[in-house]
Amino acid sequence: MGGRLSSRNQGAGARDLLSRGSGGGIQRRPKLTIQKTISWILGALISASLGGVVVFAQTSGKIRILYVGDSSVTLGAMGAGSNFSYSQSGVQIEVAAEKILNAWRKNPRFEVSYLTGWDALAQFPETPEALHRYDVVLLSDVDSDSLVLYPTERSTHAPMGPNRLKSIREYVRQGGALVMIGGYSTFTGRHNGGNYHGTPVEEALPVNCLAVNDDRMETPEGATVEGKEAQHPILRGIEWAPSPVFNRYNRLEVKKGAEVLASFKETGDPLVVVWTFGKGRSMAFASDIAPHWGAGFQEWKYYQQFWDQALDWLVSR
């Protein structure tokens, strides 16, 4: 979703009272303080709006997807009459990738599980074994802190738990599939908001994240794309004229041994990069799957075909 700043409630929601542990069991949370109660109420609204608890996919014969991120909360105006009297009006929850998620949900070939950026802190699978419940994991606008850290009640203990960035790397090495999609909070990101440079997740990706404060390339005039490998299974049957148009993207460094499938005409910077890592596969998509970075892309004739074929290739061995 790229262009929106997300207000994250760390682990809040109806799911926080009874949430899944690393082995899929239920863990009871401590008593709620006043602050946590307020967070819980907001989280309950969010949970209800997004359809409740995430269901972990187990269906055989389907491509099991875990999509994480592309979520934002916009709070309305707050009014205060005194130190003891205030009101908050309006909560808007947005999942920018809803178009592609709904298309996959309607397709019997796919089984979709979804986590918001704020729920990832408490609910993202902790071990490679837990991640292997899924055939492919997509990270979009979810920063590395939300995956490597844990909720407050665990962060006050040592150790907190498994390093989930290492778990993602080992999941791919063992045969899983990973996609990182561009945005403010992926790759290096806006003012290093993604912070994936130098992490174990970067090891599994076909690109290096730039060691800079901000990796964005602004293209308000529109950046267009050219395909490089027309016969690759991901691009087969796709025409690039007219090209999808992007408003912004993350600058990336292609690793030796990786394959660039599409790049931006104006700069030559990569858009789609793939490779094999151990027994698994991964893909870097340098712009966004949704508005506003990918507003033109989302309306492209081949949008759905591109993503369906990408998932097919990623999970095939």
Q: pLDDT (tens digit, 9 = 90+) per residue, 112-133?
A: 999 999 999 999 999 999 999 9
Q: Tell me: the pLDDT tens digits for 290-303?
A: 888 999 999 999 99
Task: Give residue 11's pLDDT.
Answer: 39
Question: Rounded to two decimals, what is the model's pTM?
Answer: 0.80
Q: What is the pLDDT of residue 56?
A: 39
Choose between 59 and 197: higher pLDDT: 197
Residue 235 pLDDT: 97
145: amino acid identity, one letter = D
Per-residue model confidence as pLDDT tens digits over 245-268? 999 999 999 999 999 999 999 999
Q: Coil, helix or strand for 291?
A: coil
The CA distance from 185 to 189, in Å, is 5
As given in the structure block, the two tokens for residue 149 are 């850290």
Q: Are 151 and 122 in contact (CB under 8 A)?
A: yes
Domains in the chain and their CATH numbers?
14-315 (3.40.50.880)
Contact residues for 288 (Cβ-Cβ < 8 A; gap 6+) = 1, 2, 96, 140, 141, 181, 182, 183, 246, 248, 294, 297
Please name which of 314, 220, 224 lies closest in space to residue 267, comparing C-alpha atoms: 224
